[in-house]
Amino acid sequence: MKTRFTDEWIEEVRSASDLIDVIGETVPLKKAGANYKGCCPFHHEKTPSFMVSPEKGIYKCFGCGEGGDVIAFVMKTQNMNFVEALEYLANRVNIEIPEQSDEIDPDQQLKKRLYELNREAAIYFYLNLKNARKAYAYFRKRSLSIETIQKFGLGYASDEWQVLKEAMLEKGYTEAEMLEAGLLSKSEKKGRTYDRFRGRMMFPIQDLRGRMIGFGGRVLDQGEPKYLNSPETKIFNKRFNLYALHLAKKDARHQGLILVEGYMDVIALHQVGLTTAVASLGTALTKEQAHLIKRYTDQVYICYDSDSAGQKATERAIQVLLDAQLEPRIILLGTAKDPDEWIQRDGVESFQQAIKTASYYVDYQLTRIRSKFTVKDDEQRVLCIRELTQYLKGLKDRTTREIYAEHLARDFQVPKGLFLGRDEDVSRVKQRERSPVSQRERSPVRNQENSSKSLTHREPLVLKSNSRSLFQEFLMMVHDQPELFGKLKIQPMVVAFIGSGFEEYVSELFPFLSEGNIHDKEEISHYFKERFEKEREMLYNSRTEFSGEVSLKVLTDYMKKIHLQYYRGLKKDREGLLQSIPLRDDEMRKMIILEIQEIMRKMNDLGTM
């Protein structure tokens, strides 16, 4: 059904929803004057550039540009549409949702019925556990507390053919709805329907909003299949969901997600306080699940079972996560078969230490390859080097390839070029490494580190000391006329101030001025007094007397000069880097040339403004 919301009702929900509380559930916020700040939930950053204004009822990230009100935040972070976000917020603040119109959307109505049906089935399975001594004893034997059983809604499906069907019919649900929800199966020969889950311990599966979308069932005695999940339905697609993510998402951004294989592994970790554990739903990790993970964190720990199947699943998961721009770490289980056994045998402290020492995915793969060979045997040694070389060749980041080739060359006592697949013979490699040319000019690692940074993070140059007055004059004008800052057509870049001595100061000053929080120089001085005493002294002790009035044009001209100075230095650095890259490295030279062209384009744009 389609819901009609009046503007007044929408505003009531928006006003009643505490923006700080809602955002604070996802982002740790710190008070910053009249506002709050934190690390942006929409892109990876270490220095907070995400600002929240409770007075204005909006948020804004000065790093990626995302912004909006409380409704927009819920839509973005919870993957909801406008109506779903409004209903979510209304329920959160106990505001009655207006009655729906007579216009019926059959698909939405069916989905609503399926959510309700699954919820009733979950309650039925949970209550049934009390009468299933064997199933209850199994959970208790696995050291699950009563509170944990309740939290995850664990239950039992009786080993009978019609019991759930009859119970749900009594509650007013139809056979067709139960078939649609995947709770019933249908005999092809006789056309009769029967309970899909029989004689199984039941694990309810919930979506990000906590709605019941399906079930996983584990056989209690001997039987096949050992695990049985709900089929795909209108509300359940296992490729797009992760078990317990609705519980793990709150702490995921700061602790990362622990990816395990089974329901019991997830539950065991949550019970001991490791509440960011999740599991895929009976399938290998999918690209959709990887993108779902990326919405909440860039930090992923894979902790699959230690058997051969688990190791293969780990290798597949690594590649899926890499394709989603995630670089996983792998928790090594040692002699434990799975995380649940580890916790029961060695305790939570031991597992927490394993998280801290988890292997970077490249280290894990290289160790796995080396373990397949006896490197003391020359033939095995050659085969090992070939496979290691093939693996390094597949790494997209050249800096990573160079660094690990260096490590392997040291371990195997061979030239690094062998691991990089270079055509040079050993004598040429050794001659180059003995060359008196400075490492800065010739070292592939040094060159690639610089070029990699140029293409990703762009480490800015440290500016000469005689440039400092330019920054001081600009900041003094900003202090004198802060209202002009928000009118600048050029978006001020904090990165252009690195080397000025004011980089940390402007990283906090600029977002505040852009939001219009500070209106005069006394207020600026008071607010930043304690944290930036040194920077304030640098400004006020070397104050420049300006000739003429501070205008928007003057301020813009200074901003142009600062940006142009930054781009000139960056261009010079890249041109030097280009000269140091061998002519045969055509791919890298092309990338550096493209970057220089992009820098020149930005300089030209500044000149025409």
Q: What is the 3-state secondary structure (H, E, C) of 240-292?
A: HCCECHHHHHHHHHHHCEEEECCHHHHHHHHHCCCCCEEECCCCCCCHHHHHH
Q: Is the pLDDT of residue 183 over 80?
A: yes
pLDDT, the chain, mean: 82
Higher confidence at residue 596 or residue 167?
167
Q: How far apart are CA 246 and CA 206, in angstroms?
A: 7
pLDDT at 56: 86
Q: Which CATH superfamily is domain 106-236 in?
A: DNA primase, catalytic core, N-terminal domain (3.90.980.10)
Judged against a pLDDT cut of 70, whether residue 530 lies above it is answered with no
CA distances from 404 to 184, 431, 515, 522 (A): 54, 21, 45, 53
Q: Which fold has domain 245-365?
A: Dna Topoisomerase Vi A Subunit; Chain: A, domain 2 (3.40.1360)
Helices (H), 371-464: 378-393, 398-412, 426-434, 439-442, 444-455
Supply the DSSP symbol for 33: T
* pLDDT of res. 460: 37
Break the chain into its structural domains and give their ranges. 7-92, 106-236, 245-365, 372-435, 465-607
- Share of residues in the chain with pLDDT > 90 (%): 39
Please provide the CATH number assigned to the domain covering 7-92. 3.90.580.10
* pLDDT per position as a tens digit, 45-97: 778 889 999 888 899 998 888 899 999 999 888 778 888 889 889 988 888 88
- pLDDT at 569 (0 to 100): 84
The 3-class secondary structure across 514-532, one letter per residue, is HCCCCCCHHHHHHHCCCCC
- 195 pLDDT band (50/70/90 cuts)? very high
pLDDT tens readout for residues 347-371: 999 999 999 999 999 999 999 999 9
Per-residue pLDDT tens digits for 239-276? 889 999 999 988 887 899 999 999 999 999 999 999 99
- pLDDT surpassing 60 at residue 561: yes
Would you place residue 208 in the very low, low, confident or very high pLDDT band (cuts 50, 70, 90)?
confident
- The one-letter amino acid at 247: L
Q: How far apart are the first and last CA of the chain?
A: 52
pLDDT at 414 > cutoff 70: yes
Q: Are strands 257-260 and 35-38 parallel, antiparallel or unpaired?
A: unpaired
CA distance 382 to 241: 44
Could you write out the DSSP letters of every residue in 540-564? Answer: HHTPPPPSS---HHHHHHHHHHHHH
pLDDT at position 538: 67
Residue 501, classed as helix, strand or coil, is coil
